[in-house]
């Protein structure tokens, strides 16, 4: 059996420190929390090696110079969660979709609550843009990083300000 190599790094951002976790070259986690708040076994060793692309692309995103990410991703989840997260990557930069819209797009009309739960378990925040999903009435609801961060990310994408 092959052993997977996990490493992590913490990088600053306008929304606070981001903990990035790689496993055999793919990004498996981007958490808006310090490593001390996460399961140590899920982090692997701390090492900045191999994170150049993701750090550069995040910097470009926060500087409003990048509208999508080109990174190898390997989120872990159920088939439904993976379908939802894939759909999130299809929401254009600067736009939003409702939970119901995402539910219909993954073939689960009436599954808005299930989409909300999957959204809340998104392990690769920002890169897999769960912040672009809003309530049917246009309200900001449910964001694991907190609603102020969600508002910040949406405002960044709509204004295109240079912030980082």
Looking at domain 6-62, which of 3.40.50, 3.30.160, 1.10.10, 3.30.70 is its CATH number? Answer: 3.30.160
Which CA distances in Å does 101 have to 29, 146, 149?
25, 22, 22
pTM: 0.89
- How far apart CA 31 and CA 58 sit, in angstroms, is 13
Q: Return contacts of 76-85, CB within 8 angstroms, 24+ apart.
A: 76/28, 76/123, 77/118, 77/121, 77/123, 80/106, 80/108, 80/114, 80/118, 81/118, 81/121, 83/107, 84/115, 84/118, 84/119, 85/118, 85/122, 85/124, 85/128, 85/130
pLDDT digits (tens, 9 = 90+) for 75-90: 999 999 999 999 999 9
Name the residues annotated as catalytic.
Answer: 130
The number of angstroms, rounded, from the C-alpha of 85 to the middle of its chain's C-alpha atoms is: 9
Question: Virtual CA dihedral for 57, 63, 66, 69, nearest 10 degrees?
Answer: 30
Class of domain 79-159: mainly alpha
pLDDT digits (tens, 9 = 90+) for 13-67: 999 999 999 999 999 999 998 788 888 888 989 998 899 999 999 999 999 999 9
Domain locations along the chain: 6-62, 79-159
11 and 17 Cβ atoms separated by less than 8 Å: yes
């Amino acid at each position: 059996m092959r052993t997977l190599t996990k490493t992590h790094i913490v990088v600053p951002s306008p929304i606070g420190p981001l903990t990035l976790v790689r496993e055999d070259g793919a990004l498996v986690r981007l958490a808006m929390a310090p490593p001390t708040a996460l399961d140590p076994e899920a982090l692997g060793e701390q090492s900045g090696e191999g994170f150049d692309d993701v750090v550069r692309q995040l910097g470009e995103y926060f500087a409003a110079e990048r509208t999508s990410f080109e990174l190898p991703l390997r989120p872990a989840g159920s088939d439904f969660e993976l379908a939802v997260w894939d759909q999130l990557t299809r929401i254009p930069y600067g736009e939003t979709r409702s939970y119901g819209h995402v539910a219909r797009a993954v073939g689960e009309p009436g599954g808005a609550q299930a989409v909300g739960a999957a959204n809340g378990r998104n392990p690769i925040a920002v890169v897999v843009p769960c912040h672009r999903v809003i309530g049917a009435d246009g309200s900001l609801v449910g964001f694991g990083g907190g609603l102020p961060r969600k508002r910040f990310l949406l405002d960044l994408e709509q204004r295109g300000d240079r912030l980082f």
